[in-house]
Amino acid sequence: MKNILKRLEDDLSTYSKTQRLIAEYILKNYDKAAFMTAAKLSAKTGASESTVVRFAAELGYDGYPAMQRELQNVIKNKLTATQRIEITGDKIRADVVDSVLRADAENILATIDTIDRDEFNKVIECILSAHNIYIIGIRASSALAQFLGFYLNHIVPNVHVISTISGSEVFEQILRVSGEDAFIGVSFPRYSKRTLKAMKYAHSKGAKVIAITDTESSPLCQYADYKMTARSGMVSFADSLVAPLSLINAIIAALSIKKENEVVNTLSSLEAIWDEYNVYEKSDNE
């Protein structure tokens, strides 16, 4: 499916007068329209609420909320931090804790419903069969990449989390990536150009590329052999990364089950080291 804004622009001349009012308003005010109810969009355009709902259906969406979600997905990478604050402020101001935690819970539930289990299993096998595993995540996504790399290092050998101080250093670290390797790119709106370029390079070298991102329309997917998507809702200027972290946790759990004996041996050795070097604080009765 084309980008919804592009579709509206291309098909504008084919719409009825009322539909054109809706389409033109969305095209001019997409940052606000994406978060309007059907009733509010109706009030802004002068079209009836039922016409707004029918327009979404005629565009091929399963109701107005589906069109709204698609519009939100398209524009997430277009909005500046300032615009995000302006748009989301009113939604969460009344009860910040309730609004944010409920949104996070909804993101996890939506991810459960949409995750492709066959694709998930292929990702697990890809990681297990790889000679080297490279992981890259930049800016907010760096926390996800570090978390994944930390635990993968307890399960499989040759895990490399790419540090991203500069663009040239990224390519120096992945210079030897090959067809025997797995390359995992993690990015959510606003998508990182450096992550995308690194994935493109790994793809060109024959590595199996895995994208962990928000939707299959994400630019990361164009270079990915496998795509893992998790809902990343926009609650404030900071994206919610709760569902992506939960997905990564599931990947770690699945790998640890597949490599249970090796993981037990590794953790037993680590426990002895942690104890010898007082890595963790002990309780009073230990």
d(CA 155, CA 1): 39
Higher pLDDT among residues 217 and 120, named by residue: 120
Contact 39, 49 (CB under 8 A): yes
Q: Is residue 224 part of a domain?
A: yes
HEC profile for 57-110?
Answer: HHCCCCCHHHHHHHHHHHHCCCCCHHHHHHHHHHHHCCCHHHHHHHHHHHHHHH
Range in 27-36, 77-86, 236-245 with the lowest mean pLDDT = 77-86
pTM for the complete prediction? 0.74
pLDDT in tens, 160-208: 999 876 667 899 999 999 999 999 999 998 889 999 999 999 999 999 9
Q: Is residue 92 part of a domain?
A: no
Residue 118: pLDDT above 50? yes
| The predicted structure's pLDDT at residue 281 | 82
For residue 1, pLDDT over 50 is answered with no
> Does residue 118 sit in the same domain as residue 69?
no
Q: Among residues 57, 75, 93, which one ends one of the domains?
A: 75
Question: Given this model, what pLDDT does residue 180 score?
Answer: 98
pLDDT band at 78 (very low <50, low <70, confident <90, very high): low
Q: Is residue 101 part of a domain?
A: no
Asked, for residue 247, whether it belongs to a domain, the answer is: yes
CATH number at residue 153: 3.40.50.10490
For residue 237, is pLDDT > 70?
no
- Count the domains in the chain: 2
pLDDT value at residue 136: 97
pLDDT the model gives residue 284: 60
119 and 53 in a single domain? The answer is: no
Angle (CA) 105-185-229 rounded to 5° is 35
Q: Which domain holds residue 208?
A: 111-276
Q: Please give the DSSP secondary-structure letter assigned to residue 212.
A: E
What is the per-residue DSSP string for 119-180?
A: HHHHHHHHHHH-SSEEEEE-GGGHHHHHHHHHHHTTTSS-EEEPP-SSHHHHHHHTTT--TT
Average pLDDT over the chain, rounded to an integer? 88
- The answer, yes or no, to whether residue 283 has pLDDT greater than 70, is no
- The verdict on 195 and 266 lying in the same domain is yes
Q: Is the pLDDT of residue 60 over 80?
A: yes
242 vs 24: CA distance, rounded Å: 35
Residues 6+ apart with CB under 8 A from 279: 273
- Say yes or no: 153 and 231 in one domain: yes
Asked whether residue 93 is domain-assigned, the answer is no
Closest CA relative to residue 104, chosen from 250, 262, 238, 273: 238
DSSP 31-67: HHHTT--HHHHHHHHS--HHHHHHHHHHTT-SSHHHH
239/261 Cα distance (integer angstroms): 37
Q: Note whether residue 42 is domain-resident.
A: yes
Q: Is 97 within the bounds of a domain?
A: no
- Distance (Å, rounded) from C-alpha 71 to C-alpha 41? 13
pLDDT at residue 160, as a whole number: 97
Residues 12 and 144 in one domain: no
pLDDT of residue 247: 98
Between CA 31 and CA 65 the distance in angstroms is 16
- The answer to whether residue 123 is domain-embedded is yes
Residue 260 in tokens: 């249970």
Tokens of 121: 């299993």
What CATH number corresponds to the domain at position 59?
1.10.10.10
Residues 161 and 53 in one domain: no
Q: Say what the pLDDT of residue 239 is.
A: 74
Q: Tell me the pLDDT tens digit for each residue of 123-169.
A: 999 999 999 999 999 988 999 999 999 999 999 999 999 987 666 78
Asked if residue 84 has pLDDT above 70, the reply is: no
Four-point Cα dihedral 97, 70, 61, 104, nearest 10: -20
Same domain, 244 and 121: yes
Could you tell me if 256 and 120 lie in one domain?
A: yes
CB contact at 8 A, 133 and 181: yes
Portion of the chain with pLDDT greater than 70, in percent: 88
CB atoms within 10 A of CB 234: 22
Question: Pick from 75, 98, 121: which residue ends a domain?
Answer: 75
Same domain, 42 and 131: no
Least confident of 47-51, 213-217, 224-228: 213-217
The tokens describing 56, both together, are: 């979404």
pLDDT grade, residue 89 (50/70/90)?
Answer: low
Mean pLDDT, range 219-247, rounded to an integer = 87
